[in-house]
Structure 1
Amino acid sequence: MGPVSMGAQRRSLFWRIHFWAALIASPFVLVATLSGLLYIFTPQIEAQLYGQLERVAPQGARLPLDAAVAAARRAAPAGLEVQAVVPPARAEDAVRVSFDRPAPGASAHAGHGQPAASPRPGQGAGRITVFVDPYRGQVLGSQREQERFSEWARRLHSRLLQGDGWRWMIELGASWMLVMLLTGVYLWWPRPGQPGMPRAGRRGRAGWRQWHAFLGVLLGVLSLAMVLTGITWSRYAGENVRALRDWAGQASPQVPGGLHSMPQGAPLNWQQAWDRTRTLVPDTPPQLTPPRGPHGVWRASSADRRHPGNRFDLVLNAYDGQVLYHAGWARQTAFGKASAVGIPFHRGELGVWNQVLLFLFAASVLFSLVSGWVMFFKRRRAGLPGLPKLLPGAWRATPPAAVLLGLALCALMPLLALSAAVVLAIEAALGWRRHDAAAPA
Structure 2
Amino acid sequence: MSDLTIGRESAGIAAQSASDLYRAVWRWHFYAGLLVLPFMITLAVTGALYLFKDELDAVIHADLKRVEIQQSAVKVAPSAMVAAALAAHPGTTLKYTDPTSPDASVEITVNTPAEGKLAVYVDPYDGKVLGSLPDRGTVMWTIRYLHSLKYFGSTARMVIEIAAGWSILLVGTGIYLWWPRRQTGGVLSVRGTPKRRVFWRDTHAVTGVFVGFFIVFLAITGMPWSGVWGGKVNEWANGNNFGYPAGVRTAVPMSDEHLDHVAKTSWSLEQAQVPESPAGHHGAAPISLDDAVSTFDRLGLHRGYAVNIPSAPTGVYTGSVYPDDVAQQRVVHLDQYSGKPLIDMSYADYGPLGKWLEWGINVHMGQQFGLANQLVLLAACIAIVALAVSAGVMWWKRRPQGSLGVPPMPSDSRVFRGLIAILAVGGVVFPLVGVSLVVMLALDWGFGRARMVRKA
Partner of 1:419: 436
Partner of 2:124: 134
Partner of 1:335: 353
- Indicate if the aligned counterparts of 2:85 and 2:108 stay in contact, CA closer than 8 A: yes
Tell me which of 189, 209, 216 is aligned to 2:208. Answer: 216
Tell me which of 36, 45, 70 is aligned to 2:83. Answer: 70
- Indicate if the aligned counterparts of 2:37 and 2:388 stay in contact, CA closer than 8 A: yes
Tell me which of 6, 28, 31 is aligned to 2:17. Answer: 6
Partner of 2:33: 22
C-alpha separation between the residues in 2 aligned to 1:217 and 1:205?
A: 18
- Indicate if the aligned counterparts of 1:379 and 1:386 stay in contact, CA closer than 8 A: yes
Cα distance, 1:63 vs structure 2: 2.0
Which amino acid in the other structure matches residue 434 of structure 2? A
Partner of 2:96: 85
C-alpha separation between the residues in 2 aligned to 1:257 and 1:134?
A: 29
Which amino acid in the other structure matches residue 48 of structure 1? V
* Matched position secondary structure for 1:84: strand
**Is residue 347 from structure 1 mapped to residue 347 from structure 2 by the alignment?**
no
**Is residue 100 from structure 1 mapped to residue 117 from structure 2 by the alignment?**
no
Which amino acid in the other structure matches residue 379 of structure 2? L
Distance 1:130 1:382, change over 3 A: closer
Distance 1:213 1:64, change over 3 A: same
Instruction: Give a deviation string over 1:259-298, Cα, whole Å, max 9, x none.
Output: 3245375532222212211222254432112233444322
Considering only aligned residues, what root-mean-square deviation do their CA atoms show, in Å? Answer: 3.3
Cα distance, 1:146 vs structure 2: 4.8
Structure 1 residues 215-224 or 377-386, which shifts more? 377-386
C-alpha separation between the residues in 1 aligned to 2:164 and 2:83?
A: 46
* Matched position secondary structure for 1:320: coil
Partner of 1:299: 318
Unaligned runs of 5+ in 2: 1-8, 244-267
**Is residue 324 from structure 1 mapped to residue 342 from structure 2 by the alignment?**
yes
Partner of 1:407: 424
**Is residue 370 from structure 1 mapped to residue 360 from structure 2 by the alignment?**
no
Which amino acid in the other structure matches residue 221 of structure 2? T
* Matched position secondary structure for 1:391: coil
- Indicate if the aligned counterparts of 1:28 and 1:170 stay in contact, CA closer than 8 A: yes
* Matched position secondary structure for 1:219: helix
Which amino acid in the other structure matches residue 122 of structure 2? V
Distance 1:325 1:294, change over 3 A: same
Partner of 1:152: 142
* Matched position secondary structure for 2:116: coil
C-alpha separation between the residues in 2 aligned to 1:338 and 1:423?
A: 33
* Matched position secondary structure for 1:134: coil
Partner of 1:117: none
* Matched position secondary structure for 1:325: strand
C-alpha separation between the residues in 2 aligned to 1:424 and 1:68?
A: 60
Distance 1:353 1:255, change over 3 A: same
Distance 1:23 1:320, change over 3 A: same
Tell me which of 202, 214, 222 is aligned to 1:230. Answer: 222
C-alpha separation between the residues in 2 aligned to 1:207 and 1:385?
A: 21
C-alpha separation between the residues in 1 aligned to 2:136 and 2:291?
A: 31
Tell me which of 280, 293, 302 is aligned to 1:274. Answer: 293
Cα distance, 1:75 vs structure 2: 2.0
- Indicate if the aligned counterparts of 1:250 and 1:336 stay in contact, CA closer than 8 A: no
C-alpha separation between the residues in 2 aligned to 1:318 and 1:356?
A: 43
Instruction: Give a deviation string over 1:81-109, Cα, whole Å, max 9, x none.
Output: 2211112232222111112369xxxxxxx
Instruction: Give a deviation string over 1:330-373, Cα, whole Å, max 9, x none.
Output: 11122322332333433344543333223211211111111112
C-alpha separation between the residues in 2 aligned to 1:385 and 1:89?
A: 53
Partner of 2:62: 51
C-alpha separation between the residues in 1 aligned to 2:274 and 2:56?
A: 40
C-alpha separation between the residues in 1 aligned to 2:159 and 2:79?
A: 46
Which amino acid in the other structure matches residue 72 of structure 1? A
- Indicate if the aligned counterparts of 1:260 and 1:295 stay in contact, CA closer than 8 A: yes
C-alpha separation between the residues in 2 aligned to 1:407 and 1:200?
A: 34
**Number of equivalences:** 412
Cα distance, 1:200 vs structure 2: 5.9
C-alpha separation between the residues in 2 aligned to 1:44 and 1:248?
A: 40
Instruction: Give a deviation string over 1:144-169, Cα, whole Å, max 9, x none.
Output: 12532122222322228434443344
Cα distance, 1:382 vs structure 2: 10
C-alpha separation between the residues in 1 aligned to 2:60 and 2:75?
A: 25
- Indicate if the aligned counterparts of 2:334 and 2:342 stay in contact, CA closer than 8 A: yes
**Is residue 314 from structure 1 mapped to residue 304 from structure 2 by the alignment?**
no
C-alpha separation between the residues in 2 aligned to 1:250 and 1:318?
A: 22
* Matched position secondary structure for 2:54: helix
Superposed counterparts of 1:193-272, under 5 Å:
197-199=187-189, 201-202=191-192, 204-246=196-238, 252=268, 255-256=272-273, 258-261=275-278, 262-263=280-281, 265-272=284-291
- Indicate if the aligned counterparts of 2:179 and 2:187 stay in contact, CA closer than 8 A: no
C-alpha separation between the residues in 1 aligned to 2:186 and 2:281?
A: 70
Cα distance, 1:437 vs structure 2: 8.0
Instruction: Give a deviation string over 1:293-315, Cα, whole Å, max 9, x none.
Output: 4443222111x431221111111
* Matched position secondary structure for 1:147: coil
Partner of 2:250: none
Distance 1:214 1:234, change over 3 A: same
Which amino acid in the other structure matches residue 288 of structure 1? V
Which amino acid in the other structure matches residue 64 of structure 1? A
* Matched position secondary structure for 2:119: strand
Distance 1:246 1:187, change over 3 A: farther
Cα distance, 1:55 vs structure 2: 1.7
Cα distance, 1:247 vs structure 2: 6.1
- Indicate if the aligned counterparts of 1:189 and 1:196 stay in contact, CA closer than 8 A: no
Cα distance, 1:65 vs structure 2: 1.9
TM-score by length of 2: 0.79
C-alpha separation between the residues in 2 aligned to 1:5 and 1:247?
A: 51
TM-score by length of 1: 0.81
C-alpha separation between the residues in 2 aligned to 1:240 and 1:408?
A: 18
